[in-house]
C-alpha cells in the first residue's frame, strides 16, 4: 500500500435525497494516523458523509474512496477496512458483551479465542466483571467500549464515529477520547462526526465545520485555539459567517 | 457465516421472555385441548366397539325366522378412527359415526357428534387442530414480526451491514434460528402428545407414518409463516406496519380464506337437499333409468326370463323361491340407482373441495387443514372409502340371507327359515382402512398448494434480502 494514498477520501462528493442535497461537493482526505473531526449542527451532512463511506448511501455524484478504492464498487472494502461506531453502539441486549464481541467478529471473519475476546474488552476499558453480563444492563459508555473492542479486533484501517461522546459523562468521554487517540497513534485513520467542540479539540488532528452539506471551514486542531474554534462554529451555526 | 447467525438467533430467541411466556401458554392450551380430544377419541372408539359388539351379538342371537325378516333386523357398522384423529378430528363432528345396514336401501351415516356431543366435545370442537393450525402461526407472527425491523430501529442492522454481512444469509439465518428455537419450545407439547397417544392407543406403522408426515407438513407450514413474517419485517420500515400486515394475513389465511372457499364452492357446485336426494333415488327406482323401463316392466321381463330359464310356465312351478329371486333382482337395481346417486353426491363433495381451494390463493392454512384431516383419515375420501366398504358388506350379508331364502323355498311360497347358526355364520364387518399412500394421493393438490406457498415465502424472503437497506 502506498503510504501517500489517504485512507479515507471524499472527492467532489454530492449526496441527494429526493430534492434535498445532504452533502454538497465535499472534498476530504484523511491519512493514516489522523483523526478528523467533522463539526456541525443537525442536518449539516456529517452523518450522511459517514453513511456514504459505509455504503448505506450511494453518492449522487463524486465518490468516496477507501485507500484509493471505491467501496461502492467493492463492498468487501467496508468489511475489511472500516470499523463503525454509531452514537448508540447497537448491540444485542439479550447477549453479554463477550457474546456480542464474538458474534460481530465472527461475522467479520475474525476468529477470537475466549482469552483474546476478554483481552480485547479489557483493552477497551470494560471491566472483567461486566464481560458476561447481558448488554441490557450496560451504560452507554460500556456499550461504546464493546464497540471499540469490535473495532480493535477488526484491525481496521479506518474508524468512523458518529457522535461517539454524545450522552457520555465527562470522565467516560475523556476516557473514550484517549482510546481513540491511541488507536490513531497506532496508525488508524479516524473520521468523527460530533457536536462536541471540546472533544474535537482534544482528540482530533484536523477539524472541519460543515453547514448545509458543505465543508465551510477547516482547522489544524493543534494550532487553533478553543475560543477561536467556538466563535467560528457558533458564527456558522447562527448564519453570521 | 449463516451458522453463526442461526446460533445467535436461536439463543437470542430462547432468551427472549416472549418465547417463554408464549411457550408456556401454548403448552397449557395444547395440553388442555389435546387431553380433551384424546379423551373424546378414546370414548368414541370404546363406544363404537361396545355398540358394534352388542349389535352383532343381537343379530347373532335372533330367533328362528325367515332369512329376509332377519335381514331387516339389520346390522350397524362403525368407522374406527386412527389415533392421529386425536390431533385432528377433521370432518368427524359433521359426518355420521355409524352406518345402518338393511335390505333394499343404502343409508347415509348417522349420529354426528355435532348433534350428539359427549362432554369433552363441549370443550370446543377440533381444538387441538385449531392450536396447531391457527394459534401456532399467530405465535410465530408474534415472535418474528420485528425480527428485522427491530434490528433496523436499534441500529444493529447498520452494524451488521458495516461488517459486510450478506442480507440473504442474515434473513435465512434468522429463519432457521427462529424455527429451531420455536421447536425447542414446541417439543414439550409434542412429547406430551406422543406419550398420551402411545399410552392410550395401539399404533400401527401406518399410524406412525401418518403422524410423522403430518408433523413434517406442520413444520413446513410454520416455516412458511416464519419466512413471510421475516420477509415482511425486512420489507416494511417499521415494526408496527409489519405487525398490522402480518395479522391481516393470518386472519385472512386462517379464517377468511376457508370460508370464502367454502362459500364459493357451495355457489358453484351446490349439493341437492336431503329430500331431493332421496326423492330422486325413489323416482329412478320406480320409473327406471334411461332405457331400463319402469318397475313393473322390469319385474315382468325378469319373471319371463326366469320362467324361460327353468322351462316352466308359472312362477309357482319354479324349483327355487321366486319371492327371494324377485327381491334380489329389485335390490340389484336399487343398488345400481343408489350407487349412481351416492357417487354423484360424493363426486360433488370432492368437486366442492377442489373449488374451495380457490381460497388457498389467500393463504396456506386451508391447504394445511385439508392435508391434516386427510392424514388423520378424517376427510371425505377416507369417509367414502369406509362407506364403499360398508356397502360391499351390506350387499354381502343381504345376498347371503336371500341365498338362504331362495334355496329353502320353492315357487311363490314364503316358508324358508333360518336359525342362530345361520345368523352366526355371517362374517363380522372387518374394515381395513387405506394406507398413507391413499392419503397422499388424495391430498396431492393440497401438497402442491403448500409447496407453492413455501416457494413463494422463500422467494419473498430472497426479494426482501435483495432490497434490505440499513
What average pLDDT does this structure show over B273-283? Answer: 90
End-to-end Cα, chain B, rounded Å? 19
Q: How confident is the model at residue A102 (pLDDT cuts 50, 70, 90)?
A: very high
Q: For chain B, what are the domain ranges?
A: 2-466
Give me the pLDDT at residue A3, please.
53
- 3-state SS of B21-70 is HHHHHHHHHHHHHHHHHHHHHHHHHHHHHHHHHHHHHHHHCCCCECHHHH
Give me the pLDDT at residue B113, please.
53
Q: How confident is the model at residue A234 (pLDDT cuts 50, 70, 90)?
A: confident
- How far is A169 from A163, CA to CA, in rounded Å? 14
Which chain A positions have a beta carbon within 8 Å of B157's beta carbon?
90
Greater confidence (A172 vs A64) lies with A64
pTM listed for this prediction: 0.81
Angle between helices B322-356 and B257-268 (to 10 degrees): 130
Which chain A positions have a beta carbon within 8 Å of B155's beta carbon?
86, 88-90
Kindly tell me if the per-residue pLDDT of B128 is higher than 50. yes
Which chain B positions have a beta carbon within 8 Å of A84's beta carbon?
158-159, 162
Q: Domains in chain A and their CATH numbers?
A: 8-88+157-238 (3.40.50.300)
Which chain B positions have a beta carbon within 8 Å of A108's beta carbon?
163-164
A56 and chain B in contact, CB less than 8 A: yes
Q: B-contacting residues of A 90-149, CB under 8 Å? A: 90-92, 94-95, 99, 103-104, 106-109
Kindly tell me if the per-residue pLDDT of B74 is higher than 60. yes
Residues of B with CB under 8 A from a CB of A: 1, 4-5, 8, 11-12, 15-16, 151, 154-165, 469-470
Q: CA nearest A134 in B: which residue?
A: B15
CB contact under 8 A, B163 and A88: no
Indicate the residue of A86, A99, A104 with minimum beta-carbon distance to B155.
Answer: A86
Q: How confident is the model at residue B409 (pLDDT cuts 50, 70, 90)?
A: confident
Residue B313, Cβ density class (10 Å: 0-12 exposed, 13-18 middle, ≥19 buried)? exposed
Q: How confident is the model at residue B120 (pLDDT cuts 50, 70, 90)?
A: very low
Q: What is the mean pLDDT of chain A?
A: 88
Query: What confidence tens digit (pLDDT) does each residue in A17-39 have?
Result: 888 899 999 999 999 999 999 99
B147 CA: distance to closest CA in chain A (Å): 12
Kindly tell me if the per-residue pLDDT of B206 is higher than 80. yes
Give me the pLDDT at residue B121, please.
44
* Residue B420: φ, ψ to 5°: -55, -40
- How far is B36 from B131, CA to CA, in rounded Å? 13
Contacts of A9 (CB under 8 A, 6+ apart): A28, A29, A30, A64, A65, A66, A68
Query: What confidence tens digit (pLDDT) does each residue in B313-369 have?
Result: 888 888 888 888 888 898 889 989 988 998 898 888 888 888 888 888 899 999 999
Please answer whether residues B124 and B134 qualify as being in contact, where contact means their C-beta atoms are separated by less than 8 angstroms. Answer: no
CB contact under 8 A, B4 and A103: yes
A86 and chain B in contact, CB less than 8 A: yes
Long-range contacts of the stretch B238-244 (C-beta < 8 A, 24+)? B238/B149, B238/B153, B239/B145, B239/B146, B239/B149, B239/B150, B239/B153, B242/B145, B242/B146, B242/B149, B243/B141, B243/B145, B243/B146
Give me the pLDDT at residue B110, please.
66
- Residue entry with cell 415465502: B457
What average pLDDT does this structure show over B392-416? Answer: 87
Q: How confident is the model at residue A241 (pLDDT cuts 50, 70, 90)?
A: low
A79 and chain B in contact, CB less than 8 A: yes
Q: What is the mean pLDDT of chain B?
A: 87
CB contact under 8 A, B156 and A90: yes
- How far is A35 from A26, CA to CA, in rounded Å? 17
> Interior CA angle at A43 toward A38 and A47, to 5°?
50
Please answer whether residues B238 and B403 qualify as being in contact, where contact means their C-beta atoms are separated by less than 8 angstroms. Answer: no
Contacts of A83 (CB under 8 A, 6+ apart): A150, A151, A154, A156, A158, A159, A160, B162
Give me the pLDDT at residue A1, please.
46
Indicate the residue of A75, A92, A107 with minimum beta-carbon distance to B12.
Answer: A92
Contacts of A156 (CB under 8 A, 6+ apart): A81, A82, A83, A188
A84 and chain B in contact, CB less than 8 A: yes
Give me the pLDDT at residue A81, please.
87
A238 CA: distance to closest CA in chain B (Å): 31
- Helix ranges (H only) for B236-292 are 239-251, 257-268, 274-287
Look at A99-113, A122-136, A147-161, B101-115 and tell me which has the smallest mean pLDDT. Answer: B101-115
Query: What confidence tens digit (pLDDT) does each residue in A183-223 have?
Result: 899 899 999 998 888 888 889 999 999 998 999 989 998 88
B19 CA: distance to closest CA in chain A (Å): 13
Most confident of A179-183, B60-64, B311-315, B456-460: B456-460
Give me the pLDDT at residue B262, please.
83
C-alpha neighbours within 13 Å on the C-beta side of residue B210: 29
Give me the pLDDT at residue B123, please.
40
Give me the pLDDT at residue B119, please.
45
Q: CA nearest A89 in B: which residue?
A: B155
Which chain A positions have a beta carbon within 8 Å of B160's beta carbon?
104, 107
Amino acid at each position: 500500500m502506498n503510504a501517500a494514498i489517504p485512507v479515507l477520501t471524499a472527492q467532489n462528493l454530492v449526496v441527494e435525497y429526493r430534492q434535498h442535497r445532504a452533502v454538497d461537493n465535499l472534498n476530504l482526505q484523511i491519512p493514516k494516523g489522523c483523526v478528523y473531526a467533522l463539526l456541525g449542527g443537525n442536518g449539516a451532512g456529517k452523518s450522511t458523509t459517514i453513511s456514504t463511506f459505509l455504503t448505506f448511501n450511494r453518492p449522487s455524484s463524486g465518490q468516496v474512496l477507501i485507500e484509493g478504492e471505491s467501496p461502492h464498487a467493492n463492498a468487501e472494502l467496508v468489511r475489511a477496512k472500516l470499523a463503525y461506531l454509531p452514537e448508540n453502539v447497537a448491540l444485542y441486549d439479550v447477549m453479554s458483551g463477550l457474546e456480542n464481541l464474538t458474534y460481530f467478529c465472527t461475522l467479520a471473519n475474525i476468529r477470537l479465542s475466549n482469552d483474546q475476546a476478554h483481552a480485547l474488552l479489557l483493552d477497551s476499558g470494560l471491566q472483567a466483571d461486566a464481560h458476561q453480563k447481558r448488554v441490557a444492563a450496560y451504560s452507554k459508555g460500556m456499550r461504546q467500549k464493546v464497540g471499540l473492542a469490535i473495532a480493535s479486533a477488526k484491525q481496521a484501517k479506518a474508524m468512523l464515529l458518529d457522535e461517539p461522546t454524545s450522552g457520555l459523562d465527562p470522565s467516560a468521554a475523556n476516557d473514550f477520547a484517549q482510546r481513540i487517540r491511541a488507536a490513531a497513534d497506532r496508525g488508524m485513520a479516524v473520521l468523527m462526526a460530533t457536536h462536541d467542540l471540546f472533544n474535537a479539540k482534544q482528540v482530533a488532528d484536523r477539524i472541519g465545520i460543515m453547514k448545509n452539506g458543505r465543508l465551510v471551514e477547516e482547522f489544524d486542531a493543534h494550532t487553533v485555539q478553543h475560543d477561536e474554534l467556538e466563535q467560528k462554529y457558533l458564527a456558522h451555526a447562527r448564519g453570521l459567517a | 457465516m449463516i451458522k453463526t447467525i442461526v446460533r445467535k438467533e436461536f439463543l437470542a430467541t430462547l432468551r427472549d421472555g416472549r418465547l417463554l411466556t408464549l411457550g408456556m401458554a401454548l403448552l397449557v392450551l395444547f395440553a388442555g385441548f389435546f387431553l380433551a380430544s384424546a379423551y373424546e377419541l378414546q370414548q368414541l372408539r370404546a363406544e363404537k366397539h361396545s355398540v358394534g359388539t352388542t349389535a352383532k351379538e343381537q343379530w347373532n342371537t335372533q330367533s328362528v325366522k325367515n332369512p329376509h325378516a332377519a335381514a331387516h333386523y339389520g346390522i350397524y357398522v362403525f368407522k374406527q378412527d386412527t389415533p392421529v384423529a386425536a390431533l385432528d378430528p377433521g370432518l368427524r363432528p359433521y359426518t355420521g359415526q355409524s352406518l345402518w345396514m338393511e335390505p333394499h336401501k343404502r343409508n347415509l351415516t348417522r349420529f354426528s357428534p355435532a348433534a350428539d356431543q359427549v362432554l369433552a366435545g363441549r370443550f370446543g370442537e377440533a381444538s387441538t387442530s385449531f392450536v396447531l393450525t391457527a394459534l401456532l402461526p399467530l405465535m410465530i407472527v408474534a415472535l418474528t414480526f420485528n425480527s428485522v425491523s427491530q434490528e433496523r430501529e436499534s441500529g444493529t442492522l447498520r452494524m451488521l451491514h458495516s461488517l459486510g454481512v450478506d442480507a440473504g444469509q442474515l434473513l435465512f439465518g434468522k429463519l432457521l434460528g427462529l424455527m429451531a428455537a420455536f421447536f425447542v419450545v414446541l417439543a414439550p407439547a409434542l412429547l406430551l402428545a406422543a406419550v398420551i397417544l402411545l399410552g392410550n392407543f395401539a399404533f400401527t406403522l401406518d399410524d406412525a407414518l401418518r403422524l410423522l408426515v403430518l408433523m413434517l407438513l406442520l413444520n413446513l407450514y410454520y416455516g412458511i409463516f416464519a419466512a413471510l413474517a421475516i420477509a415482511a419485517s425486512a420489507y416494511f420500515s417499521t415494526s408496527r406496519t409489519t405487525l398490522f400486515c402480518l395479522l391481516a394475513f393470518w386472519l385472512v389465511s386462517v379464517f377468511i380464506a376457508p370460508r370464502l372457499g367454502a362459500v364459493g364452492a357451495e355457489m358453484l357446485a351446490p349439493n341437492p337437499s336431503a329430500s331431493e336426494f332421496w326423492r330422486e333415488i325413489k323416482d329412478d327406482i320406480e320409473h327406471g333409468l334411461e332405457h331400463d323401463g319402469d318397475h313393473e316392466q322390469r319385474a315382468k321381463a325378469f319373471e319371463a326370463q326366469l320362467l324361460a330359464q327353468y322351462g316352466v310356465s308359472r312362477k309357482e312351478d319354479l324349483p327355487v323361491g321366486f319371492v327371494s329371486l324377485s327381491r334380489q333382482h329389485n335390490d340389484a337395481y336399487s343398488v345400481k340407482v343408489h350407487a349412481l346417486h351416492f357417487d354423484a353426491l360424493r363426486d360433488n363433495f370432492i368437486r366442492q373441495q377442489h373449488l374451495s381451494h380457490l381460497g388457498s390463493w389467500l393463504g396456506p392454512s386451508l391447504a394445511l387443514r385439508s392435508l391434516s384431516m386427510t392424514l388423520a383419515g378424517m376427510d371425505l375420501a377416507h369417509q367414502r372409502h369406509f362407506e364403499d366398504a360398508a356397502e360391499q358388506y351390506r350387499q354381502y350379508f343381504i345376498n347371503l340371507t336371500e341365498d338362504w331364502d331362495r334355496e329353502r323355498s320353492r315357487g311363490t311360497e314364503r316358508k324358508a327359515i333360518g336359525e342362530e347358526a345361520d345368523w352366526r355364520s355371517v362374517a363380522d364387518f372387518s374394515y381395513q382402512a387405506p394406507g398413507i399412500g391413499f392419503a397422499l394421493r388424495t391430498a396431492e393438490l393440497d401438497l402442491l398448494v403448500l409447496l407453492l406457498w413455501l416457494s413463494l415465502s422463500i422467494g419473498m424472503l430472497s426479494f426482501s434480502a435483495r432490497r434490505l437497506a440499513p
